[in-house]
Amino acid sequence: MNEEARKILDSLTKKEIAELTPQDIAFMRARRSYMTKDQQNYYAEVLEEKRTFDELSPDMPLQELKKYAAEVGLTWRVGTTKEKFIEQIKEARENG
């Protein structure tokens, strides 16, 4: 990483999460590999790019689908296709 980008990242990692702008977050996401593990953990809620339930796709890793399922109280069962699992997640989300 160049010196200017390093200085910007250093200044951003001194900010509280609530102080970060969308541009700050995008900058940090693009350079998260340069952050320490402590910094990555502290800023995890903004570094993680979350998809909406409408964006669920069979191309997503099963572990990511399982996270969405857990939010609606579901667990994946062996033998369930990703497509069926996504349907179940969306249905559970709609039925609250």
Give residue limits of the domains in the chain. 3-47, 53-94
Residue 39 has pLDDT above 90, yes or no: yes
- Report whether 59 contacts 77 (CB < 8 A): no
- Reference 90, options 48, 63, 61, 58; nearest CA is 58
Residue 64 has pLDDT above 90, yes or no: no
Token readout for 23 is 């541009």
- Report whether 70 contacts 55 (CB < 8 A): no
Mean pLDDT of 51-78: 85
Residue 49 has pLDDT above 80, yes or no: no
The pLDDT score that the predictor gives to residue 18 is: 93
17 vs 49, more confident: 17
The pLDDT score that the predictor gives to residue 50 is: 67
The pLDDT score that the predictor gives to residue 51 is: 63
Q: Considering only 38-42, 51-55, 75-79, which range has the smallest mean pLDDT? A: 51-55
Q: How far is CA 91 from CA 31, 52, 53, 74, 79, in A?
A: 36, 14, 10, 11, 19
The pLDDT score that the predictor gives to residue 79 is: 94
pTM above 0.85, yes or no: no
Which pairs from 64-69 meet CB under 8 Å and 24+ separation? 65/89
